[in-house]
Amino acid sequence: MRRVAMISEHANPVAALGGTDSGGQNVYVEQVSRGVARLGFAVDVYTRADNPCALLPRQIDDNVWVIPVSAGPLAPIPKDAIWPYLPEFLTSTLRLASQRQPYDLIHGNFWMSGWLGAELKSHWQIPLVQIFHALGIIKRQHQGKADTSPPERFDVECAVLRAADRIIAQCPSEVEDLATWYGADLSKIQVVPSGVDIRRFFPVPTDQARRDLGLRPDQLIAVYVGRLVQRKGIENVIRAIPKLEPTLARRFQFLVVGGETAEADLEREPEISRLAQIAAELGVRDRVTFVGHHPTDILRIYYSAADVFVSTPWYEPYGLTPLEAMACGTPVICSAVGGIKFTVAHGETGFLVKPEDSSELAQRLTEILADPVLRRRFSANARSRVEHTFTWPIVAQRTAELYLEVLRERCRSGQVA
């Protein structure tokens, strides 16, 4: 059985989702690890320990273990603050790995895990497969001074691109960015889109979902699910509400699902407080409901209760929540940015709009909310698109094939893999 060291320094596959640094990468690491394990690989996931009670390896599936690594304080810290602790992470990983069976391949996630992967490749003399999840130079372009990435990030990403045997890009626009801004070797890059668990995310009858959530059947509901950070563009949705057609606006409710607390505590969550203040200033505070953080298995109820899912980030490398909404048969309106341009089919599963353009968003919201026939068509197309292209078994199969291709190349070159 081939063995994979999956490196994910900040995104623990068993962490609760919806926090500031807990989202799509966590899901990716969990689902790909489980998926390739079902195809004959054994996977150990190395991730930073942020709790003194969680220092022992934990098995999460057949042939999948999560290995907590001591690096820095045994407490949660922002992911951008982990960089100074990577030498400690490397030393701890080498020590922990010496107690496991040898690995055949490394799979790095994010730029810091790429640095670790390149170092481990040098130590172990095995191939490295890398996925970035986000690129530093693109993030800086969109976030400017709000970007808290360490200054070393770009140089490290360039070094990782040189060291890696294969780069996984999640969408065609990422390939373009790697070539344009990093001068990446295109022969190393393979597009493998991320996916969604269609056994967890599936359509629930709208009336049933609304009863479960205590929502009125006659409301027109838009939902956002995800992390509550400024770049996600939730403010843009709030600013669109006063621009809705008046008869629709009277029945409209915007549900914001996510955050650090289950009760959406304004005092503990500055971003919720900021958004609530904007809604109050616009006179639409009663049209915006912050419902807090909820377990993953509850999210399909929120997606299914909605007439439309809305996410208009300024910047989004890929974006899993639009796929989750589509898997639940919910039409989507999303920014035409990053991987969303690839996953959302404009005019078929919903609409793509310009980021930070509340007028265009209001126009598209009005179009969908006023036309139940259009919503039904988008709904059927959305579920079908996910089933045929964006499921985790498809992602795992393509990733496992990539692993085997890299290992065969290693053998052909005369190196031990």
In this prediction, residue 18 has a pLDDT band, given cuts at 50, 70 and 90, of low
Query: 255 has which bridge partners?
Result: 223, 289
Confidence of residue 311 (pLDDT cuts 50, 70, 90): very high
Length of the chain: 417
CA 226 to chain centre: 9
- Per CATH, the number for 2-195+391-412 is 3.40.50.2000
Round the average pLDDT of the chain to a whole number and report it: 95
The pLDDT value recorded for residue 253 is 98
pLDDT band at 10 (very low <50, low <70, confident <90, very high): very high
pLDDT digits (tens, 9 = 90+) for 40-91: 999 999 999 999 888 999 999 999 999 999 999 999 999 999 999 999 999 9
CA 265 to chain centre: 24
What's the pLDDT score for residue 417?
47
Q: pLDDT of 355-397, one tens digit each? A: 999 999 999 999 999 999 999 999 999 999 999 999 999 999 9
Structural domain boundaries in the chain: 2-195+391-412, 206-389
Q: Torsion angle of alpha carbons 11, 25, 191, 153, nearest 10°? A: -60
CA angle 385, 389, 392 (to 5 degrees): 120
Assigned token pair, 132: 């970035």
Domain 206-389 is in which class? alpha beta
The rounded distance, in Å, linking the Cα atoms of 390 and 327 is: 9
* Res. 416: pLDDT tops 70: no
| Radius of gyration (C-alpha) of the chain in whole angstroms | 22
pLDDT above 90: percentage of residues in the chain: 88
Q: What are phi and psi of 69, to 5 degrees?
A: -115, 130
Q: How far apart are alpha carbons 190 and 15 in whole angstroms?
A: 28
Question: What tens digit of pLDDT does each residue of 231-281 get?
Answer: 999 999 999 999 999 999 999 999 999 998 888 888 889 999 999 999 999
2-195+391-412 and 206-389: same fold? yes
State the amino acid at position 46 in one-letter form. Answer: Y
SS3 letters for the chain? CEEEEEECCCCCCCCCCCCCCCCHHHHHHHHHHHHHHHCCEEEEEEEECCCCCCCCCEEEECCEEEEEECCCCCCCCCHHHCHHHHHHHHHHHHHHHCCCCCCCEEEEEHHHHHHHHHHHHHHHCCCEEEECCCCHHHHHHHHHHHCCCCCCHHHHHHHHHHHCCEEEECCHHHHHHHHHHHCCCHHHEEECCCCECCCCCCCCCHHHHHHHHCCCCCCEEEEEECCCCHHHCHHHHHHHHHHCCHHHHCCEEEEEECCCCCCCCCCCCHHHHHHHHHHHHCCCHHHEEEEECCCHHHHHHHHHHCCEEEECCCCCCCCCHHHHHHHCCCCEEEECCCCHHHHCCECCCEEEECCCCHHHHHHHHHHHHCCHHHHHHHHHHHHHHHHHHCEHHHHHHHHHHHHHHHHHHHHHCCCCC
pLDDT at 213: 97
